[in-house]
Each structure stands twice: as structure tokens, then as C-alpha cells.
Structure 1
Amino acid sequence: MDDPKSSHRSREATPFSPILNGEFPVEQLRDLLATLPDTATDAAEAVVTAFGSSIPVTVFHRHDLDWSALAGTESHADQTQLTALECAAGPLVPRAATVGNVAVVVDPAVPDDMVATHRTLLAQLCVWIDLTAQAHASTEEFAALDDEAEVMRTVAHQILSAQDLDQVLLNLTNQTLRMSESDICGVFLREGEELRMRSCAGHRVIDTARLRMKKGQGVAGLVFETGKVARIDSYLQDATISKDFMSLAEQEATRSALAAPLVVHGDLIGVLEVWRRRYSSFTDRDVRRLVALADLATIAIENGRLYDAQRATVEELDNTRISLERQLRLLNRSSTLQHSLIEIVLANSAVTSSVARTVGTELGCEVAIISATGEVEATFPRTFDTADLLDDVAGRNGVLPQRATKLVARDGRTIWAHPVIAAENQYGAVCLVGGNEDTEIMEVACGQAAMVCSLTQLQQRAASAARAEALDQLLWDLMEGTAEQRSAARSRTHQMGIRLRGFHRVVYGVLENTDNIAAQEGWTTSAADTLRRNVLNGARGCTTPAQLTLTSVRGNWIVALAPIKDRERARTLLDELNKIAAQCHPDLRITWGVSSARSDPAEYPAAFGEAKTAHAASRRLGTVSLYDELGIVRLLLGSSDNPDLQGFIKEVTEPLLQYDQQSDGSLLKTLRTFFDANCSQKDAAERLFVHPKTLAYRLELIRKLTNLDLSQHSDRMRADLALRLLQVTEAVSDIDGQSHPPSG
């Protein structure tokens, strides 16, 4: 601004007297041109004083696009007339002169010819005032540059002293906003092929702080595309920028904008942009300032990024150290606990209770090991009430968790549950409640306890599989082995706790349609084998009417030893086995054959043959499966070289012969006489010379001993044939005895 004191000194230095006769004070004005006023205002006032009141004049000065009065009679400038004067047009041309940014206008009362005579002098006055203004501006600019340098040093210190990138950007926007005399300032940083506003100050609309721009969009996008400074004097009317953000510019009342690129090593990393809401043009000085600030910003941003990267690296290393230390502690605790649990497995003692006690003692928590059926196998402490725990863990569906789970108990304590899985089968779950350790240690400990329980299950499973394989081999040795193999098998069964005492029947079955089912279901060979194993496991688990002593599957054959003597119980067993087959697959069909009851294991091969014969009858006749009930059919199904005559005869006659020998009875004679009398009880009683009731008693006794109902045609035919075959064999034996007398 102009100094009033300097203006006063200038007037004292040039004391001119006013022109009384109304003529131009040429000499005074020329003397005035030889002086050096301090400011343009001083020079203008000196000119007005030199003219005096007889020739009133006004001196105008233009700043940017607007004219203003420096000195004279007129206090307001007619912008239109002065603008026209610059183009040598308008009403002011006859009585004014203008050079550069200065115009001297003479009062309209002064004759135009007088003004025209001295127009050159007026122009010289304009040049003199304009040069004075430029000299003063240069002086001010030098002072301003010095001040600006000091300010830039301060700003640089504030910007560069910040280490955090966000703080750098905040300092940058605030200082740029102040130094550029703008209303809004924003810093865009590049993210791939897009600019994103990272820091903004002075905005009114929140969307301004969230701006994103691609190349060519808005002023920042223009800089992004060209890599050069962009200066916009009229934002809403400028044709060089896109229209993408015009509505936002209207909301912010933006009038002009200036943006500079942020470049590091030739790569654009962002844009620094300022906006003004007033009508004004950004000068070259403004551009230099913004470019200088952009250079500082580039250094500060790069430093901030390096600092952030370094800090992130340090934090990452520190977090890694903490994580490794935590993992080391966890590993040590886990290793100690695992060692204790493995010792439990190797000790082969009560695993579940030992695991619960070890884990509970080590971690200070309550432990429950639950079976797949929901039964509690072990707890620690023993007084641990698991009623609520089962509800919390199993939930409404009563299903144990199938993966590691963290729950909240009803009393607010934490429950860690881990399934016990072996060979893809879930055998239960391990649950830890409460505890004083970290979550990670509790999770690992729960998993280790479950793993030990799984190993135990696998161990038991392997032992069971080995035992089952050994029992399978024993069964086949008993059925098909040589005499030595059968003898060794009987010894091994005794060693393995298998009782072969008492009567047993051999059960022989054939899975008739497994191949068809596999083709229908699209099964692999493994799936078909699984079906056979399921049938085998179901048969082994059958306890009605009695549990099978030995059971084995070979291909589609299933063979078992059943400790059953009674026929009805044998039929009940077949019904249960058919139910098991239907449970394994509804379309599975198995045909069965059951031998007669044998008490001597040496007769098992013969019984196995009987079971096969009964099976053949079952396949041909449909319903008959018991060898005892085949009757004469077994003679037809037996081998043509060695029909089972003796077995057929003994089933009917041997019980009667034994009774007659022990009781001195005559049941066999009674049965023969009954058939000779055409099954007439009256005629048979007369032939035997006994009372009819006595005969009826004997026939009832025969039924009980042989299980033959003589009122049924099939049983009568079977008994009659057995008696006749007995007569034939006795006759043959008599003939053999005569032909081959005993030696000696």
C-alpha cells in the first residue's frame, strides 16, 4: 500500500502554484517529470496539484481488469468508458490519454483543442506514473519475494518436519491454502490409473473431500493427463476442462482453479490444486508459488511414504517378534502337554479318564469327554456336572460339533469343543470349560486331547480289525481246512476266548445282487465292498436270538457259526439277518442255508456242506432254509456219488433207538406197525396188543423226540422212508457181515 507520509513529502518537494488563466502548466509538468516519487499515488496527486483547480484532471490506474481512481476530482471510474479508451474509442478520447495501466482524464469543461494540443504531454504523464507504479511494484515485489522466501522456509520446515503421511498432507493443504490466497485446497494422490483426494481444506460439500478422477476429468485429471500446470480463470465457462464435476463446482461456488503436478523421478504421484470462489486470475507469481509448494509436497509425501513404510516394517517386525514369542510359548506348552498325553497312549491304560485328568490339571479347567451317543465317558473333576454342558454343546438337535468350536456356556464361561474323529467316523467330542490360559493354548490343548482320543480309537479299531481278520481265518479253517488246520484252529479259538462248546449251526448266505445294485447306484468297487462290510458288521452285532460265535465274508459269501440248537430260534435268526440286510440296502437280496445242529467242532465241515445244501434248496424251493426241514429233498440235492442216507436215517431213527435202548421201549417197532396199519391207530393198537391210548401216548412221544408231526403227509412220508432205508441198510450190513466175517 502507498505510504501517506511519502505522499506528503512529495507534495512539499514540488510546491507548484495553480494556473489562474486556465492554461496547461507545461513547465511545471515537465519539471514534475524529472522527479522520482515513491508511489504511483504520490505521482498522481502531484499531477492533479500541478494542474490546479482551473484545469481539473483525474488519474486512473488499472489493476487486473478493473480501473480505479488514484487522484483527482472523480472518485469513481466508469469502467466501460475507460475500457473503450484503451481501444482509442468512446467519449473520453478527446479529453484523455492512456498508456499502459494509467489514464489521465481532463475535466469535460476544458476545451478539447487545448487537450489535443497537450495530448503528448498527457501521454508522458501516463508513462511517468506507470513507470513509478512499476518501480514501486518492483520494490514491493522484491520485499514480497524476500518475505515469501522467509515464509517458504517456514512452510517447508512445517511440511517437511511432519513424518506421518496424513500429517504431511494436512500441513500441506493448510499452508497452500494460506499462501495461495485461495478458498479451497486439495491434494490428490495417484492410485493406479485414478487420482483420489487424500486431504482437503476449505470445502463446503463432503463430496469434494471424496473426489476421484481419471485422466482428463476436471482440472486435476487434465494435469494427470498432460503432466503440466493447469490454470483456469473461469471454471464454469472454460472449454479445456471436462464437464464431469460442474455440478459440484456450482455447489462450491468455484470461479477459478490452479493445479500443479506432483512428480517423483519422472512419475506423477499426485496433483496439488487450489480453487477460488471470487472472480480473480491466478498470476504467474501464484503459479510459481504453487509449483514451489508442489515440489516441497513431493519431497514431503515421498518422505512420509518412506516413513510410513519404515514404520509399517518396524511394526510388522515387532508384531512378528511378539507372534513368534507367543508361538514359542504355545509350542512349549503344547509340547509338554503332548508328551504327557502320548505317555497315556503308550501306557495303554484308561485313556479317556487319564486324558481328562491331565488336561484339566495342566490348564486349570473342567474337562468332559463325550461319546458319539451323548454319553459322558470321563470328566475332570469327577464332580463336574455335565447336564447343562451337553445341552450347550449338542444344542437342540442333539448333534455334537463336527469341527473345532468355541461356545459360551450358560454361566458365561467359555467352552472349547473338538470332535474325536478316526477313519472319517466321529466317535465323540472333547470339551474344555473355563481355564486360566490364553484362547490359543486352550484350542490347541482341546485339539491335542481329541487327537489322543482319536489315536486310541484307531488303535482299538486296528486291534479289532486284526482280531476280526484272525477270527475270519479261524472260521474258514474250521469249515474247509485240513485236519491239522482244523485242530490248530480249535486251539486258537480257545486262546482267543471263543467258546465252541454246545450245539452250533453253520449259517451260509449268498449276497445275490450286489453287482446289480452297484451298477444301479453307480458305485465303485470300494462302495460295493463297503456294502458287504456293513452286512458283516450288522451280522456280528446281531444278538437276537443269540450272538453269532464267528462270522466272516468272502466275496459274496457270508458264513457264520450260530450257537443255536432249536429250529425255531434258527428261523428267528434268519429273520433278523434279513432285516439287517434290508437296513444296509432296501434292494439287497440274500439267500440263506442253515445246517443241522452239531456239538463237535470236528463235524463243522460236514455242517458247512449241509448249509450249502440247505442254501441250494432255498434258492430252488423258495422258503426252506434249514437242513433239518429238507426231508428227502436233501437226498436229491446231495452228491450223486455219496447221498446223505445215514444222516437222513439218523435224524428220524436215532432218537427212537436211543430211547428204546435206555428205557427198554418199543417206539421204533410202534412206528413201523403204525405205517404197516396204513396209519390207523386202532389197527396198529390191535396188532401191538396195546390199548389205543397207549398207542397215542407212544406216537406223541415219537413226535417230541423227532419233531415229526405224523398227522402231516410230508412228515409221515419222511418217517416211512427213513424206516425203509434203515431196513435196507441193516440188510446190506447183514450181507456184508456174512461175506466178510470179522478177522480172527
Structure 2
Amino acid sequence: MQTRSPEGPDPAGPGGAESHTELRRWLEAVQALSTAVSAGHSLREVLDLVADTARALLGFDFCGVLIPDGSGRNLVIKGWSGLSAEYVARVNSDRPVRLHGDGVHHAPSSQAYQSGLPVAVRDIAREPQFTPWGGVAREQGYRSMLSVPLVAGGDVVGTLNSYHSAVHDFTDREVERLTLLANHAAIALTSARMVEELQQLNVSLRRQRDLLTKSERIHQRLLAVALRAGGLDGIVQALAELVSRPVLVEDARGAVLARTGSPSELPGSDVRAALPLEEDPSAPRAPGTGIVRAEGGYIAATVRLAGEVVARVWLPRGAAFSSLDERALEHASIVISLELFRLRTGTEAEHRLRGELLADILNGAAVASRPVTERARRLGHELSHPHVAVVGQLDVATESRRSYAYQRALSLVSELAAGYTPRPLVAMHQGAVVALWPLDSVHTRASAGPAGDTERMEVVASSIRRAMASVPDAEGATVALSGADRRTFLQAYRTARGALNVALRTGRSDTVVTLDDLGVAGLLLQLGDARQLVAFADRTLAAVRQHDLLRGTHLLRTLHVFLDSELNRTKAAQRLSVHPNTVSQRLRRIEMVAGLDLSAPATLVEVSAALTLLDVAEGSHPAG
């Protein structure tokens, strides 16, 4: 069983060699998925279409879509193509895929779902962990399978499984193509679920015969606005007319997204901030709803997306807020959730495109070439201007929230960049938020002022750090800035990334780091070739580095901490979580291996310089 980690799936294949006919088939298939969701097809119909599409496009013998069951403990087949109904029924009832395994057997689908990475099985007959499903697999007639996760909004919502009837070695290209299709399928799945929720609410409305007339009006009005892409303004306007009062929609940070009616009739920021974002179970509310009766004569309803509160709808309570008005507000909250999901999906697509452009630039693409400049201009970027690199990293306490925190930070920094012209290029790269910022970029709502390039960029870096640090799950943010001298994009990025790494290694965090702040290390970061630094450092520490590499010891780390602890072995032991005697033993080993006398002041100066050079060299070339 093999876990695969594809990079940048591309339906056009390496070098764009895919034929126009093949590319058209892919585009038509993706359009068909979007059309099925927009047309209100059931979740089962959408999932069957996903399986049919994967099978037709990629030539698999069978395909299936697995999603968690109601208990959340198992994956069950909810859509399929080529599989028999008997096989699906037996797997779902007798051999469901347990998400956490049974202690011995871990299905490929479970592994893909838990890890978020594709899992391929060349021959299930030779895979011991596949034993529980071997019988039904033989009856169905497949020998190999590939399971890729369905990821939407950073969350895994299911898996797309494809099977061959013969033993098969899955190529990277097959994995990439199925992953690309899975990305679109995940969006279709999530959208279909939300549409299904909307449809289920409509069924509930129809059951209440005494509310039928106005419920139909609510349904038709709000759904029509959503389907004709009326946006948040259109939805808010329709709700205001239905409930005959002004309406305000704010996001989770309290920023107003849409508003209609007189501002004097709507709650101010102080009133809105006083109500906790997550509903208080003890707060007064309409029976059986998520509508809270807030202080000051206002009503608030939460808008959730994937279980997270993403917005709130506010309106004056008034004297006659009826059950029909409550129903309209509930219904509008679902439609607003659908609209915000649409906007989020569009934002994620933009982030992905900008990330691909940034990766190409930093991987050596010819920036002045027409394909690259045209891609950049379509995204609003002008690469002919000199740029400065800014690299930011979050301190997130909860590992499970790291992905969401970075996505939120990326959105906030992107929103900040959108206010400047020429627009900076902001994207995720190698686990950090990276911005290539034009030196002559000017905020559209403020004059550039008399400050020089360095001063202005330090102000920008501070704004980026504040935006990243404002993410709810972040405990801090560290931002590093390359120098304002004219350098290539790659040189600027390596300099900023190196400054960030050096700062974090030396305990400097939750701040803006400039090259001047790092002293000699900042000066060395501006060298073009870090190999010279390593060669110089190795004259002193090569034997220690080799010892650590071959024997898995931590001599270099111990030496670093010992010097940072002002040669105090007790402090160094505390920082390393070892006994002081262990520190002493390691220092003696260093002296023996490298032929050094750490009691000599000149040796300590030489060793300290070598460690600084290694920090700079490693920081200049972050791991990919």
C-alpha cells in the first residue's frame, strides 16, 4: 500500500502536451458537475456523476465515492459507477470502512481520508491489510485500486476510489489527474450538501400548511436571488423586504459585508461586539431556532459554514416579529451560507493560481517571458517592477487548526495587498505566507508620503504581521523582510526566508525582522552563494557535523545552545531538557571530535562565527 503526495495536478500534462480534444473533455466534465449542483440534483445523483466522470475520463474499470456515515465512524459508498449494487450493499452493511481501523486492518480509503494524501494498492491480493475486503473484491472483479481524498475548504469530506480489474502500477500522472478531478468533486459534493439542506428546509416549510403561502414566497424569493447570482446585497435586500425592516450582515471579525435600510435603525459595532460569536445556550432565543434576541432590541442569527460561524445577520426586533419572519431569517441564513461558500471557493481558486505563479517564479521561470507576464497580469500583478520579499510564519498552538489558521492569514494578507497598486503577489509557499511586494506600490486610499523604500516596507511588514497575528488560532506571527535593494525575486525570497529562519533559531519571534536586526547574520544573508558560508564554517565544525549525521547525535545543537546560554551548562541543560552532566559529556566529545579547546576564548569566537554562518546558510535554503 503506497501513499502518494502529488504536486500541482495538471490536466494538460507536462508541458501542456494534452490535446485540445482531451482538455475539452475535462472542461465539459467539470462543467457538468457544476451544472448538476446548480440544477438541484440530489446528493446521490451528484456522487454518481462524479464516479461516472472519473471512470470515463481516466479509463478505470470501476469507481466509487465514499463519505462518512451518520455516526462519523465509517466510510460508506454513496455514489458509484461500474460497481454492482450487491457489492455496494455488502460493503456498506457487512464491511464498512472504519475511519480508525480495527487495530490490524487499515483500508486504503481510511488512510487517504485520515492523511489527506492519495493511497495506491498495486495488488490487493498481496496486501494483508486488505484481507477483510478480499472476498467482495474478487466477486466484483478488481485487483488494484487508487483512493484520493476529497478536500474542500481545507477539510477532507470523503474519498474518490478507482479500481482496475488487473494488477496495476499507478503512475504519478494518474494520481495527479484523479486528484485534480477530486478537487472539483469535493466542491460539488459540499455544494450539493448545502443545496440539499436548502431543499430539506423547503420540505419542512411545505409541511406547515398554515404557513404555506408565505413560506413559498420566502423560498422562491431568496432562492431566486441566489440562483441568479444576486450576491449578498441582493439577498439582504430580499430579506429586508420579506421582514419589512433593515438588515445588516457582518463577518466573523465584525466587518460589515452588506447592509440595507437606515444605519440608525441597525446595531452599532459596540452592540454587535458585545454578543459572543458562538451562541450562548442560556441566551434568549426563538424556540427551536438559532435566532438570538440580543440586547438593545435587536435580533441576530448565525451563519455557519462547515460547522464554523462565518457571519451573523442583524435586524431590529420591532413589535411584531412573527414566526414567519423567523422562518425568513433562518432561510436567509442558509442562502447567505451558500453565497459565502461560493465566494470562498472563488477565493481559494485565486489563492491556488497565485500560489502556482509564485512557485513558478521562485523555481526559476523566466519572469520576463510572455506566458509568465500574461499570467501575472490576468491576476492583477506587474512583474516588471522591482519587488521586496516578505515572509511570515504563524505560531499556532493547536496543530489541527494550523491549516485553517494559515488559510485565514493568507486571506487577510491578500485583502491587505488588494488595497495597493501595483498589486503585490501574495501566496502560500513552503509552509509560510509569502508576499512579493513592488517597491513603488502605493496604497489606493493614502498617499505614499515622503518615507524612503526601507521605511515604507517596514510599515507594510508591520501591517502584514498584525493581520496574521489577528487570526483567532494564532498565538503570534513573525515576519521577515528582505532588503530594499534591487534583487531578483528568488534572491529576495531567499534573503527574507533566511532572515526568518535565523530569527526563529535565535529565539526572536512575534515581531518584524529586518536584515539590520540580525547584525552580521543579516549582512551574510545578502551573499549570493550560501555554499561559501558552509565551506568556511566546515573548517571548524565539519567533523562535528559529520558525527551528528552518521551517528544521530546532537552535538552541534548542544554547542549552539551552550553558547546562547552564556557558557552556563546548567542553563543549557534546562533548555535541552537533559542533565548538566550530559551537556558536559557532549562538550568533551565535541572537543575530541573536532580537536578544539572550548576553554580558549579564541576558539569560542571561531566556533560562534562558524555556527552563525551555518544558521545563515541553512536559512537561505529552506527545505521544500
* Pair in the same fold by TM > 0.5: no
TM-score, reference length from structure 2: 0.39
Structure of higher CA gyration radius: 1
